[in-house]
Amino acid sequence: MRAIHISSHDGPDAIEVVDVDEPESGSVLIDVHAAGVTFPEVLQTRGKYQISPPMPFVPGSEVAGVVRSAPEGSGLAAGDRVCAMPGLGGFSEVVATDPSQVFRLPENLSFVQGASVPMNVLTVHFALSHRGRLRSGETVLVHGAGGGIGIAATQYATAVGARVIAVASTEEKRELARKAGASEAIPPDGFKDAAKELTDGRGVDIVVDPVGGDRFTDSIRALGQEGRILVIGFTGGEIPTVKVNRLLLGNKSAIGVGWGEYWMSNPGYLQKQWAEVEPLLADGKLDPLVGAELPLEKASEALQLMDGRGAVGKIVLTTR
């Protein structure tokens, strides 16, 4: 089968399209139709991600496709339309996955849309619902609102009755954020003052931050009383530091969102999450917005697009 190999740490340019053996049965075997592209894959091409197996290896942490075979008692059967989180191996034509990491795909979603769901939607659900304790009527400021996590955060917060202020770097990305349900969309420059003005000086209740970098301090300043900043990632490159007196003032909280660490140590949690988000997907309240769709052999181009923050919406690779 065709697959993508990371065989060096020389960046997205160095990945290769190869022919490898199909995985053996034993877990759920999925004929992959589409694979989502995430920022960790960019980091893996440079050896800078915490999950970095011996090379060469096939990256790819989320897929959508059709079940070829499944273990007895898994609740899955050949022919089922699913999305899944294989952890690794998704950038290929066939992948093997544990049944606990496979989810039935609502009929209204295409495979390309389905491949953009697991990592983004489940991360955002964990961040806002479990860690952030988001309540209807609160105001959420979302950084990186034109990317996969940002779009998912905007849609999920809106679906549960929150108001979203989206922060995105271009008007094209801001327009996509509005399409996802943002009440307002603003540029990064001056976002703190804009957020204060848009909330009549109160500040926002939650900041969703997958970016990090030099906007972190102003994000804390943009919070109102008992506001929470959710630390999801550092696509900006720099891991920020915080003077904790800024948390003391206003009773604010900086909350880590380690979704992967949490579900891996809490068996069954992923399926509990899916039970909550699947109705929102089926009703169209969560509607994955795919910005770029490329064939598998253009995986290098897809990762370069992600690396340069050129993506507007989710990037997906197709295999069939």
- The model's pLDDT over 218-250, given as tens digits with 9 standing for 90+, comes to 999 999 999 999 999 877 667 888 888 889 989
Q: What pLDDT does 312 receive? A: 78
Closest by CA position to 36, among listed 151, 148, 122: 148
Q: Name residues of the chain where pLDDT drops below 50.
A: none
What span, in angstroms and rounded, lies between the C-alpha atoms of 16 and 93?
A: 15
The string over 71-95, giving b where at least 16 C-beta atoms fall within 10 Å of a residue's C-beta and e elsewhere, is: eeeeebeeebbbbbbbbbbbbbbbb
Q: What pLDDT does 212 receive? A: 83
**Do 53 and 88 form a contact (C-beta atoms < 8 A)?**
yes
**Do 124 and 152 form a contact (C-beta atoms < 8 A)?**
yes
Q: What is the pTM of this model?
A: 0.93
Q: What pLDDT does 52 receive? A: 80
What span, in angstroms and rounded, lies between the C-alpha atoms of 145 and 228?
A: 18
Q: What pLDDT does 203 receive? A: 98
Structure tokens at 231: 């630390």
**Do 11 and 45 form a contact (C-beta atoms < 8 A)?**
yes
Q: What pLDDT does 189 receive? A: 96
Structure tokens at 244: 């904790």
